[in-house]
Amino acid sequence: GILIDEHMQTNVPGIYAAGDVARGPTSFGETHQTHALWPTAVEHGRIAGENLAGHRIPYQGSLNMNVTEMFGITVASMGKFIEERGSSSHLAENPGSSRYLKIVLREGVPVGAVALGEAEDAVTLGRLRPWIRNRRRLPEVEGFLKGRYLISRQVA
Residue 119, pLDDT > 90, answer no
Residue 46's pLDDT is 96
Q: Cβ distance 113 to 125 under 8 Å?
A: yes
**Average confidence (pLDDT) over 128-144:** 87
Residue 35's pLDDT is 87
pLDDT in tens, 22-63: 999 988 888 898 888 888 999 999 999 999 999 999 998 888
pLDDT in tens, 62-94: 888 999 999 989 999 999 998 888 888 988 888
110 pLDDT band, cuts 50/70/90, is very high
139 pLDDT band, cuts 50/70/90, is confident
Residue 156's pLDDT is 60
Residue 153, pLDDT > 70, answer no
pLDDT in tens, 89-108: 988 888 888 888 999 999 98
Residue 55's pLDDT is 94
Residue 79's pLDDT is 92
> Residue 91 to residues 55, 68, 100, 104: CA-CA distances in angstroms?
42, 20, 7, 9
